[in-house]
Chains A and B, each alone.
Chain A
């Protein structure tokens, strides 16, 4: 707020507030500073990641063994029957569910709904994007700071709707809310409506953030920063923001129609009233396909930063990467039909298959560019770079395993199986979450002014990598061998792979706990971070760690490109510590 702003001295970090707990809380809750809002988003999305992660562990725990009816003799010599393998049955009464299967169905729905709507969509743009987009542009704040705070509050209200729906027992619709199941299940209860409204409300937060970022990028770039002088993270977030603004209203309308359908039985998706249940799928994926690029494009932006900074190389093919972000954003609006190959006519299926292959090209180009960037670099093996390399590994698997899904003949077999589950976890978790973790470690010193233990962070990274691959690589084989998605139970021959997958999820948990510990130790006892620990050239490294209230003492003027590592000694670095090559390359 302006009154507190004036009380600040130049050079004070953004989170030095007034004394007193209450005034500190009020200062954070009423702040219009994009950095504070970014940090509040960070903690909110990490909490949602925790909730979604707990439900994922519960899903994996249930799937350790198949459900069996066992007939045996008790001590008195009587025949008794009991059911084994329903590991979540203990939650039946707590959740008010009919049986153990419904408990499972509610938990996988929670996992999907929380991870998609409350964690992964806002994760990178709203937390790291909010914090760093204005600083990397050399601006004091986003274009509409108050709108920015409003979008955080809308996000929290949306999450509260979701959490409230969970406390009332949760919903079993699947995160996709397919009709007519979603309009008929649990018909006498309003928790389903609460969950749909949660997604509806979260959409507004997404639209407002997107709009804010588009205007910020257009209007608030520092003097000297042309479009092609922008860091590639900005390009990623910018392409994302365009999708958010254009696609999210569609899902808003769709979810509202779903609520009308449930409450007033208007019949737009109900076949007995002349509606069409598959129409819902088209509406839903018209938003939800572009939104997978909302999830991945900011991650790709982070990877461009990580690879360039930590190998001290100019990014290879800057324009190709920037334009491929926009290309992906454009094509993403034309491929929603590939989620519905098994419920559409032959001609539509063929057209959507062809369009889907188009998305593969710009994605492949980005991967080639990142690897070419490493060539002749000075590559540091630290946590952010490790996550960058892990991203290249897991995201390449995610992308390549998408090819048989775009291919019609093979998709008929793989659709709605564990193969699809493995594929999108390799892109979403192996892509976005790995990039998010890399970005978090890369910018942590800047955000909080503290270094973290490199040993602790690398231990966590290695555990996450091993756990992730054990959990999800097995699932490709489950899918090709015949295991359908969203099954609380399965036939015996799939058990071995399920056991490996569940053990993997425990290693994954351990890895994230190590990261959590490392971050907590860093906040309490970390060394003070220098302004530019990695030798970055983008503008956030020119200011202090943590940045001052208004980001910069003077409006920065951009005199070099974001990746001119072979020409410019990074800010705050002594030229003795940063050798430059004798013959810098020309563009």
Chain B
């Protein structure tokens, strides 16, 4: 499977040991170089210091009846030397550090601007044409099918990692990020670009990177066409602690040729079946808390398989009231989720007011309806739905 890989060839042994892979941009490679320079400096100092320490301990170990030999209690020249040399080195690191910082922070004039939104616990990237990626990807997928075919007697077993959104960016392009959080502080980290910035609720933050050119050998699996296409995947991690699913707040950044990128965002920008739209929004934005198989997560399930939840069923609220789960209930729950919290859950969902378009909200509600056995759009459940509407009216 097309797991983002951190392995790569052609780098010095120690650098590979430390970073696992090349920095993916010029700025990243530059800061890796600076890191290695500081590390070699540190290793040099450390070996000298420890070498002296061990040598002194061996040479001057205590012998019965032998006194310590006199030596000066201080030595001004030596002390000046070991103050000035480290100070000068620090100055060099400081200046180079500021230069590398500027390389990572300052976007070229022609940079493509991506809007990044964060909430507990997902990322959303909006492209310049207003579209956002509906694609997701299973990562860390493993199966022992190959071993079974080779004659292994272990039971068939397949392990899945988690499903993460995939964000596309074109190769060899300057990209700048404008980031904002809807709830707590997150941090948008792309390890292969060696940079991160906190994503904060009350202001925009951001940084810039230049995507690498793809090499011929780099391909990824396109989950819509199920074909290998040219591309390179990288991890995106949330680096600022943000609660229960902090460690699952990841995504894939996929570098693809310009044509692939253009085709993708054109496709995402055109209208589609609302249920399909709803399902793709679900996978990228809602799935981490809401299941569609009846099991409760951080939030209630959307499925009606257990006969008491889902569209058309009443919800008991934490404040003791109950409310019918109808279209307006779901609309309110998306836009102002903490007004009506279902009993047994704690208010933890961010408000999506202003974050989703009318089409998005409609798509999500259509998708939620499609999961229920009281779906008014399915002809055979019309009667049940009538009852549901009546009781919703009487609850008022």
Contact = CB atoms under 8 A, between A and B. Distances in A.
B174 interface: no
Given A187-B346, A311-B68, A316-B73, A354 B94 contact: yes
A153 interface: no
B97 A378 contact: no
Interface string B123-152: 000000000000000011010000000000
Contacts of A417: 239
B354 interface: no
B19 A480 contact: yes
B156 A415 contact: no
Contact of A396 (B50, B94, B100, B158): B50
Interface in A149-175: 172, 174
B248 interface: yes
B185 A277 contact: yes
Contact of B93 (A172, A181, A406): A406
Max chain A CB contacts within 10 Å: which of B71, B183, B195? B71
Given A71-B157, A403-B93, A484-B189, A276 B202 contact: yes
Contact of B72 (A84, A404, A585): A585
B392 to A, nearest CB: 28
Contacts of B52: 371, 374
B93 A407 contact: yes
A330 interface: no
Interface residues of B, number: 101
Contacts of B20: 480-482, 493
Nearest to A403: B38
A378 B183 CA distance: 61
A23 interface: no
Interface stretch (B83-91, B301-309, B364-372): B83-91
B93 to A, nearest CB: 5
Contacts, number: 316
Given A378-B60, A408-B101, A412-B101, A581 B42 contact: no
B244 A361 contact: no
A178 B200 CA distance: 12
Interface in A572-587: 579-581, 583-585, 587
A379 B158 contact: no
Contacts of A275: 202
B214 interface: no
A202 B197 CA distance: 33
A584 B70 contact: yes
A94 interface: no
B323 to A, nearest CB: 20
Contacts of A401: 42
Candidate in B57, B183, B244 with the most chain A CB atoms within 10 angstroms: B244
A8 interface: no
Nearest to B161: A68
Interface stretch (B29-37, B223-231, B274-282): B29-37
A314 B346 CA distance: 63
A566 interface: yes
A481 B19 contact: yes
Contact of B237 (A178, A188, A350, A482): A482
Nearest to A400: B42
B43 to A, nearest CB: 8
Contact of A404 (B38, B53, B69): B38
B101 A581 contact: no
A68 B159 contact: yes
A8 B86 CA distance: 56
Interface in B271-309: 298
A374 B74 contact: no
B381 to A, nearest CB: 28
Contacts of A556: none
Given A376-B70, A409-B103, 15 more contacts: A68-B161, A98-B346, A178-B241, A186-B346, A313-B68, A316-B72, A343-B198, A353-B98, A378-B67, A379-B57, A397-B46, A404-B35, A406-B94, A409-B96, A581-B69
Q: Which 5 A-B pairs have the closest CB atoms?
A: A409-B100, A271-B202, A407-B97, A482-B191, A585-B70
